[in-house]
Structure 1
Amino acid sequence: MIETTEKIIYKAFRLTISSEYDLPELLKETSNYIDTDVVIKKGDLTAQWAELAEPNQTFVIKANLIMFHMPNVAIFSITNGRNIVVSPLDQASDDHIRLYLLGTCMGAILMQRKILPLHGSAIAIDGKAYAIVGDSGAGKSTTASALLKLGYELISDDVIPVTLTPDNVPMVTPAYPQQKLWQESLDEFGMDSGNLRPIVDRETKFAIPVLSQFTTESLPLAGIFELVKTEGEELDIQPIKNLERFHTLFYHTYRNFFLKPSGLMEWHFATCAAMVNKLELFQIQRPTSRFTANEISALVLSKIKKEIRI
């Protein structure tokens, strides 16, 4: 991993982040003389991992401690919602380490800070935030990109931070101005990948800077759209009702398997209970036989503009 000559202060997820490593995806703070919320540094975690982990174990999770070991990449430690320590392995690439820092590590930081991390993309539409969630490959980022092409703004891609106001209004906090898209999506949108950086060496998923269409304002979360792949030929959208709404929020919580061993199940349920009736939730079944992101974006906008009443 390329280390910076000095710590650099970044801003993401409404947190100030001091990092010994270059994180070009994030916005830099103009001053280095400010209090920081999160500290990222390099350290040797091999002895601690050997003490805590069983053979072939990937994660060690306790209250205020999440450690994980990614073969050929690094051992990572996240503690107290503040500290991230990286112990790089010899084969580690810069891109791989950064991928985990901005993904799993930041998801763990948010959870330890009792900020609900949803797995998906969040878009600003008419002064409100709308989340697009789904399994890997469901089309979250591609649908978000289709909405950006219509002039809307990105709030977050991959990890969506949600907090509650004193009145229990769920708010989405901006992450950082980048999307991740596969080559197939770029081709459908007519975008050239020649000047784009692959997320990881030799892969066909690319980092898409969206600084000109990134909002730095926290917005109320008004709706969630769950994308589900289907073998059918037509798009179908249905409201998610009753207890299924809780299931949807839990299922699409980023790294939800962190919750129980971290002692956060009660907090998670209370947070979801406070916000669930303030949202509209829909499931969109999309065919895998054709490119549907433009159709889905039109369907999402139709629901937002014609049916959602907050």
Structure 2
Amino acid sequence: MLHYLISGLRVVSDFPLSGVAESAFSADPEVHIRRGPLPDTLGTPVLAKPNWMLSEQDFLLRMPGIARIQVSRGCLITLDAECSEADAMPFLLGTAFGALLHQRGILVLHASAVSSNGHAIALCGPSGAGKSTLAAALCQTECNFIGDDVAAIQLNTGGKPVLWPDSRSHRLWADTIAHLGLSERQGQSVRNTIQKYHIEPECEAKAMPLSTIVVVRIAEQAGQTAAIEPCSIVDAAALLRAEVYRHFLAKCMGRDAALFKQISDMLSQVRVLRLTRPREPKRLPETLALLRQHIAEAH
């Protein structure tokens, strides 16, 4: 058995999880990942879509020619790969593990996360907004890496929102790696068919109090300057509902009411900023300077 820490959960796997650093723990595992044959359909689905289906306790993800992945009761993931396990891994660690977090009732955002001065900062936004790039650039200075793409958030025993650590590697496109000078830390490709690579980070090993969420968007026009503005609680609630990881799946799983409460409870203690970043990659330093200023002001 191989041991991992993913979104704060103790995970054991029957096979190596590419792009995830092994983690030692002595307590009982909370999640088991295994290989095994899977059917094309669930026995009693309550909802069926072209590539996935739901039952009361299970989620089945189907990618023809790649894999079928079943997530059960928030504690078991079964992989039936039709190609290399490496090509199936982004789906297992992405959508499938996101479904598992939803099954466990955890608030999970589509976000990269870093820490600064003992506090976590989550960078939300759609694919292509530059979350991973901004996180990687921040980690070249005063910040430490917490996680990439998926951010699991819960209230601790004191009622404070914390962001859980993750041992999944940072994943960046080849041109971003070159631009940030990270070639020496470039690992294997995320999938054989794309030029996106694992970057080995120095990860935080404990839950971090969450102080700031930054919702990132690309400027609509070329030449537009970087800008950050605070969001009201009402606007922040609407923005973050859209940033829930695989939000349509969460809705289909009946999570809407619970997510509304979780986001509301979090927003009473966390500030939300909206960042507009220039389109041009050469203007990344401008965005970073503005972002660092607001991170520093929080502490």
Q: Same fold (TM over 0.5)?
A: yes
Tell me how far 1:55 sits from its aligned partner. 8.7
1:182 — aligned with what? 173
Confirm or deny that 1:65 pairs with 2:58: yes
2:156 — aligned with what? 165
* Partner of residue 40 from structure 1, selected from 33, 44, 47: 33
Counterpart CA distance in 2 for 1:151 and 1:178 is 19
1:86 — aligned with what? 79
2:206 — aligned with what? 217
2:69 — aligned with what? 76
C-alpha RMSD of matched pairs (Å):
2.2
Q: Which runs of structure 2 are paired with 1:93-242 in the superposition (5 Å)?
A: 93-192=84-183, 196-210=187-201, 213-230=202-219, 231-233=221-223, 234-242=225-233
1:256 — aligned with what? 247
Tell me how far 1:117 sits from its aligned partner. 1.0
- TM-score (normalised: structure 1): 0.88
1:3 — aligned with what? none
Give the partner amino acid of 2:2. I
Cα displacement string for residues 227-273 of structure 1 (whole angstroms, at most 9, x for unaligned residues): 11122421111112232111111111111112222121111111111
Q: Check conservation: 1:107, 1:117, Cα contact below 8 A.
A: yes
Q: Tell me, what secondary structure is at the counterpart of 2:14? A: strand
Counterpart CA distance in 2 for 1:218 and 1:285 is 28
- TM-score (normalised: structure 2): 0.91
Tell me how far 1:59 sits from its aligned partner. 1.6
Q: Residue 18 and residue 76 in structure 1: after superposition, are their counterparts in 2 closer, same or farther (change >3 A)?
A: same
Counterpart CA distance in 2 for 1:267 and 1:18 is 28
* Number of positions where the alignment pairs a residue of Structure 1 with one of Structure 2: 297
Q: Residue 145 and residue 59 in structure 1: after superposition, are their counterparts in 2 closer, same or farther (change >3 A)?
A: same
* Partner of residue 12 from structure 2, selected from 9, 12, 18: 18
Tell me how far 1:177 sits from its aligned partner. 5.0
2:236 — aligned with what? 245
Counterpart CA distance in 1 for 2:7 and 2:292 is 26
Counterpart CA distance in 2 for 1:240 and 1:112 is 29
Q: Unpaired segments of 5 or more residues in structure 2?
A: none
Q: Unpaired segments of 5 or more residues in structure 1?
A: 1-6
Q: Check conservation: 1:64, 1:262, Cα contact below 8 A.
A: no
Percent pairwise identity: 25
Give the partner amino acid of 1:11. L
Counterpart CA distance in 2 for 1:88 and 1:262 is 25
